Chain A
Amino acid sequence: MTIGGWFTFILATGSFTALFAWCLYKVFTAKRPDKMHGFEIDTKDSED
C-alpha cells in the first residue's frame, strides 16, 4: 500500500470510528434537558 493509501485508510476508518465513539459517549453521558427547547407540538394524544 502506498503512503496515499495509508493516509486514505487511516482518515476513513479514523473519522468513522471517532464519529461513532463520540455518539456513544453522548448516548451514555447525556442528561435529559430540564427544559425542552423549541415549541410544543400539537399532538392528538396529549388530550388523553
Chain B
Amino acid sequence: MALKGKENWSSGLGVILAVAGSAVGLGNFLKFPGQVAMYGGASFMIAYVISFFLLGLPIAIVEWTIGRHGGSRGFNSPPGLIAQICPWKNIKYAGILGVLLTTIIYCYYIYIESWCLGYAVNFAAGGLQFNSIAEAGDFFGNFIGAAKDGSALGFGWDKVAIYFAFSFALNFCLIYRGVSKGIEFFCKYAMPTLVLIAIILVIRVMTLGNVAPEHPERSINQGLGFMWNPVKVVLEEKSAGDNWVEASRLVGDIDTNAAQKKVEAARASGAANLRIREISVFEQLLNPSIWIAAAGQVFFSLTVGFGAIMTYASYLKKRDDIVLSAVTSSSANEFCEVCLGGLITVPAAVAFFGVSGVMGAGLSLFDLGFRVLPLFFAQIPLGAFFGFLFFFLLYLAAVTSSLSMLQPGIAFIEEAMNVGRKASTLLLGVITFFISGFVVYFSKDLKAMDTFDFWMGQVAVYVFAMIQVCLFAWVMGARRGVELANYASIIKLPKFTSIILSCVTPFILIAVFSAWIAKELFGLGVGANSKYVSDILGFEGGGNTVARICMAIMITLFLFFAMLLAASKKYNKLGKEDDR
C-alpha cells in the first residue's frame, strides 16, 4: 500500500493533546459533578475507578491499537481500520457506523458549542444580568429557540445563529488545514489554555467565602460535602403506598438539626411519617444504577468507542508509542474531570443556592451549565469576567471535541471517493451544514437534537464499541492485540491485559448496554414505553414528525456511506487480501 503524501502528527505530544481534547468536553465540567453529587462521593468514585480500569482504559487501548495498525496499512477511517483486524469480507460495512455516528454527533454538538460561545460573548459584553433561576432559564430558552421551531434563527448577539455560523466555519477551517496544521495546532494551544482557565476558576470558587451570611448552611464546604461525603444522609417521607421515599439530602449539622426537629415535631403530633436515614457506601454500591451511571460516565467522557481515537491514531507512524499515549490522554481527561471539573460547578452552585436550591433547579448538564451557573456568575463580584472565562473554557473543550467528530468523515470520504482534502471538506461541509441546520431550525424542546443524541450519541456508540472490542478480543485475539499495542511502546501493557480484554471488558460493556437498553428502550423498571421508540413507531399516539425525519436522515446517510464504500476501488481490494 503506497503511503506517499500520508498525513502524520508532527509530535507525540500533539496526538496526546488532540485525543485528550477529543475526550475533554462539557460532560467533564457539567455532568460529572452532578453525577458524583447525585450518587454519593465514595460509592460513585469506587464504581468510577473500577469502570475506568476495566472498561474505559482497555477500550481506549483497543482503539489506539486498531488505529495505528490500520494506519500502517494505509487506512485512516473506521471501515478500513476495522477491516484490518478481521478477515470477514463485509466487516467494513460495520465500520460505517463509526463514520455515521461521529458525523451526526458533530451536527448537534456544534449547536451546543455555539451556546457556549454565545454565553461567553454575552458575559464579556456584560449582557447577562440575572436575579433568579427563572430569569436565567428564560434567557436560555429564548437563546436556543426552545419555545418554537425556527425561533433560534434570528440574527443578534442574544440569538444562537451568529455563534453557530462562526463555530461551524472555525471547525471546517481547522479541519481543512489538516491533522497537523489544523487539529494538532489548535489543540496544542487550546488544551493548556483550558487547563489554565480551569485552575483560575477553581481558585476563584474555593476562595469565595460565605457568600450569603444569612444562610450559614450555604458554603463551599457544604458543596464539597454534598459531592464527596461517603455516607449519604437523607430525610425520608412515608408515601401513600407505605414506602419510604427520599424527601431531601442532608449535608452538615445545620441541615441535619433542622430535619431532626421536623421529625420530632411529626412524632409529637402522632404522625410517624418522617425519618432520617444514613445510607452507607456498601448499601449505595448495591444499587445497580450507580454502576450503570459510573460506567456510562467513564465511557462517554473518554470518548471511547466512537471511532475518533482510532482515526487519530491511524496518523501515527508504525514505530510511534501508543500505550503511554493512551494512558496519558485518558489520565489527562480524568484530571480535567475529577480534579478541575469536580471543584467548580457543584461547590459554586451549592455555596450560592444551597443543597436544596441546587437539587430543585436540577443536576443535569443543561440545568447546571445554562441555568444555575449563569445566575451564579451574574451575582458574584467580577462575575462578567469569570462568566466569560467559564463559558470560553467550555467552548474550547467543545471545539477540540467537535474536531475529532469530523475527522472520521473526512478520512472516509477521501478514501472511498479517492479525492483530496478540499473535496472531502466541501462534501462533508455540505452534508453537516444541512443536518445541523435542521437541528438548529427544529429547536422546539430540542427535539431533533435529543433524537439524534439518543440513537447516534448513545445507542450507536455502545453498538460500535461492542463491535470493536469483540472483534479485537475474540476475532483477532486479545493476546495478539496486546503484542501489537506493546510494539514500540514506551511502557508495556502487563500480560493480564489480554485476560481483561477477552474476559472482562466485553462482558461489562454488554451488561451495561443491556441494562441501559432495557430501561431506556423497553422501559423496563420504568413501566412505560420509551419516548424515543414511541416517537418513531407512534405507540399510544406518540408519533413525532421531527423524530421520524431524524431517523430518515440517519438511514439515508448510512445508505449513502454504504454506497460510497461499495463503489470504492480501495475498499474493494480489501476482500482480496487474504492476510490480516
Residues of A within 8 A of B (CB): 1-2, 4-9, 11-13, 15-17, 19-20, 23-24, 26-27, 30, 32-33, 36-39, 41-46, 48
Contacts and interface: CB of A to CB of B under 8 A. Distances in A.
Interface string B59-75: 00000000001001110
B327 interface: yes
Contacts of A36: 319, 487-488
5 contacts: A7-B230, A26-B491, A38-B483, A41-B487, A43-B72
Contact of A45 (B74, B334, B579): B74
A16 B276 CA distance: 34
Given A2-B231, A20-B334, A44 B74 contact: yes
B331 A37 contact: no
Contacts of A19: 327, 331, 334-335
A48 B378 CA distance: 61
Interface of B: 1-3, 12-13, 16, 41-42, 45, 49, 69, 72-74, 221-222, 224-225, 227-231, 318-319, 321, 324-325, 327-328, 331-332, 334-335, 338-339, 342-343, 483-484, 486-488, 490-492, 577, 579
A37 B492 contact: yes
Contacts of B45: 8, 11-12
Contacts of B492: 37
Given A23-B327, A30-B324, 6 more contacts: A1-B228, A5-B228, A27-B12, A27-B328, A43-B72, A45-B73
A2 to B, nearest CB: 5
* Secondary structure type dominating chain B contacts: helix
Nearest to B482: A38
B196 to A, nearest CB: 15
A5 B225 contact: yes
Contact of A12 (B332, B338, B487): B338
Looking at A16, A37, A41, A44, the one whose CB has the most chain B CB atoms below 10 A away is: A16
A11 B46 CA distance: 11
Nearest to A13: B339
Q: Identify the 7 closest CB pairs spanning chains A and B, nearest first.
A: A1-B225, A23-B328, A5-B229, A20-B335, A9-B228, A5-B228, A20-B331
Contacts of A41: 69, 72, 318, 484, 487
B331 A48 contact: no
A38 B483 CA distance: 7
A44 B154 CA distance: 54
Contacts of A48: 1-3
B1 A16 contact: no
Contacts of B16: 27
B334 A9 contact: no
Contacts of B1: 44-45, 48
A23 B324 contact: yes
A30 to B, nearest CB: 4
Contact of A8 (B12, B221, B228, B325): B228
Looking at B2, B12, B41, the one whose CB has the most chain A CB atoms below 10 A away is: B41
